[in-house]
Structures are given as structure tokens and as C-alpha cells.
Amino acid sequence: MSDPQQALKDFKAQHDFFVGIDSDGCAFDTMEVKHKACFYPMTVRHWDLAAVAKYVRDVWDFVNLYSKARGCNRFHALIDTLDLLREWPEVQETGMHVAEANGVRAWAERETKLGNPALQAQVERNPDPDLQQALRWSLAINDEVAKTVHGVPPFPHVAESLRKLVRQADIIVVSATPGEALQREWEEHDIARYAKVIAGQEMGKKAEHIGLSANGKYQSDHILMIGDAPGDMKAARANNALFYPVNPGSEVESWQRFYEEAMDRFLAGTYAGEYEAKLIANFEECLPDVPPWKR
């Protein structure tokens, strides 16, 4: 079997600067439609949650859109959603059984490439009912996304930023989204040509995407991750890289600031320090840890 991370391992620096960019919710305004029109209904259907569907909607949206877990891998999101549902008193009062999905939990703890290919291989080795259910669920989500998500352009100033940045920096996509969807969306809007690698969930975790492609090939203050979620910042910090936040709810303003100001600071070596710290402090105020029904 070919190594899904080979493109990252073979990556060669062509410029002095490296930029990783998240896709959903960061470069594209696709988070809301994907989670509300695709992930949420498939979660209700495939995990037998129709009786508590209104709670599923609130929990799924909190985990994936409105909390510090925003942008996490779908299998982690599934586990977190099921856990929060079981803890919600109103759900408990219904007497509804909410799956624990322990097979998925165990697999997600040991697997680093949390995507359908790795899950399919695991199901073939061990036909655990939880894993089979998770695979059906995940494939159904991909089908819904392919049918539903079209014509959603990048945020304003994304394409302009890429055109300007590619002259001095090597760019890759760093995402927990399946690679097929990433390729389709970036090609649809003619920006795939700016990315040397489009790395999705099949290529491992975001920290691995950055580490394999950039570490040892660029100075650490020449490596930047652009993202809209705490997990993106964590991936940057795991590689001693800089982080530029795209603030949830203020994406257009964030990209305008990057295009007009932050990009030039990064390329001039004046981004790190007080300027980055101020942006991150503002970013960290955007998303809560605790769901509203627990406050």
C-alpha cells in the first residue's frame, strides 16, 4: 500500500517562507452548510437519534462550530457529541439510548490518519459493529457534501492573498476534511494551483502535515499556519510555527487584515511577538469551552 503521507515527506522548499492554510471555515465559508445540511442529519439518521434530534443539532453545532473544538476531525466530533448528549439531563429524561461508540473511541485513540481509508482497512481486519456504523455514517456524509456543497466561493481576499503570497512562499492546504472534497472545492474556484500539496484527513493530523512538509526546511519564524480553530493553532505550536487566526464570525475582516497588513509583516519578519500575541488573544475570546446549556 502506498504511503498517504509521501507527498508531504517529499515536499521540497522552493521559497524561504512556508504557509499552511486550513480550508473549511477558514478559506471557504463552508462550515455552516456542511455541518447543518450534511453532518447533522446524517448523524441523526445513522446513530438512531431521531427522538432527540433537536438536542443533537445543538450539540453538534456547539462542538463543530461554536466551541474550542471547532474544526476537529469528524470522528472526534462524533465521540464528543455522543458524550455531551448522554450528559444532557433533558436527553436522559427521554430514556433514549445514546450510543457510546466505544469501538470508534478506541480506534480514534490509536489511529493518526483518521479518514475513511484507514477506517475501511480497520473494518476489514475487525468487523466491529461500531466501526461499521461509523464507516456508513462517514461515507454518507461525504455523499451529502458532494451533492450539496457547490458554488461556495472562498472568503473575500483569500484568492488575492494566495496570488500575492505564492510569489514568496510555498503554500499547502492543511485540513481535517477528506482530500477528495478539498481537491474539488479548491479546483472549482481555481485556487488549487497555488497549493503545492492539498493535505486532508487521509494524510494524518494537521501537526503532521506541517511537520513533515516544513520542519528542517525553513526557519521556524518563516513557517505560518492560517486557521480558524484552536486545533489549527495547536498544530502550529507543535511545530514551533507562527499562527494567523481567522476569527469565527469575522472571517472577511480577518482575511482583509491578512492581505493588507499581516502578510507583509510575516514576510518582513515583524509578525512574531507582540503583533501575533494581540491577534491570538482576540481569537481566543471568540469560542467558549463550556456549552450554553451547562453555564
**pLDDT tens string 86-144:** 999 999 999 999 999 999 999 999 998 999 999 999 999 999 999 999 999 999 999 99
In the chain, what percentage of residues exceed pLDDT 70?
A: 100
CA 136 – CA 120 distance, rounded (Å): 10
Q: What is the mean pLDDT of the chain?
A: 96
Q: At 295, is the pLDDT very low, low, confident or very high (cuts 50, 70, 90)?
A: confident
**pLDDT tens string 252-262:** 999 999 999 99
The model carries a pTM of: 0.90
- DSSP code, position 201: G
* Short-list 205, 198, 191, 195, CA closest to 71: 205
Q: pLDDT value at position 290?
A: 92
**pLDDT tens string 204-223:** 999 999 999 999 999 999 99
Q: Is the pLDDT of residue 6 over 70?
A: yes
- For cell 462550515, the residue is 31
> What's the CA angle centered on 89, arms 86 and 92, to 5 degrees?
55
Q: Is the pLDDT of residue 56 over 90?
A: yes
In one-letter notation, the amino acid at residue 260 is E
Q: Is the pLDDT of residue 1 over 80?
A: no
Helix (H, G, I), strand (E, B) or coil at 257: helix
Q: What are phi and psi of 275, to 5 degrees?
A: -65, -50
Q: Is the pLDDT of residue 244 over 90?
A: yes
